[in-house]
Amino acid sequence: MERHGTPTPEDLADVAWHISTKSENGGGSCVEAGPLADGSGRVAVRHSHHPDGQVIVYTRAEWGAFIGGVKDGEFDFPSA
């Protein structure tokens, strides 16, 4: 995966963060994702319980590949 640099506070200021409705009521560790407002198509991802912590930024192509894999069941790991 290509490194896209650490997002600045300005990059993240206008991100419209989204959390899955499947996560909201679980009370567990959740992730939030949202597009950067700079028009680049990049998507930021962070831990919802640590909104001031580390953020990972993906290109639109990387995010699309991940979502495609989720929809195809590639991340349906067996439960322990």
Domain residues of the chain, as ranges? 9-21+30-71
The single-letter code of the amino acid at 18 is H
Pairing between β-strand 55-58 and β-strand 18-19 as defined by DSSP bridges: unpaired
pLDDT score of 24: 61
- In three-state secondary structure terms, 42 is coil
- In three-state secondary structure terms, 36 is coil
Q: What is the mean pLDDT of each run of 10 residues along the chain (80 residues)?
A: 65 89 68 90 91 91 95 88
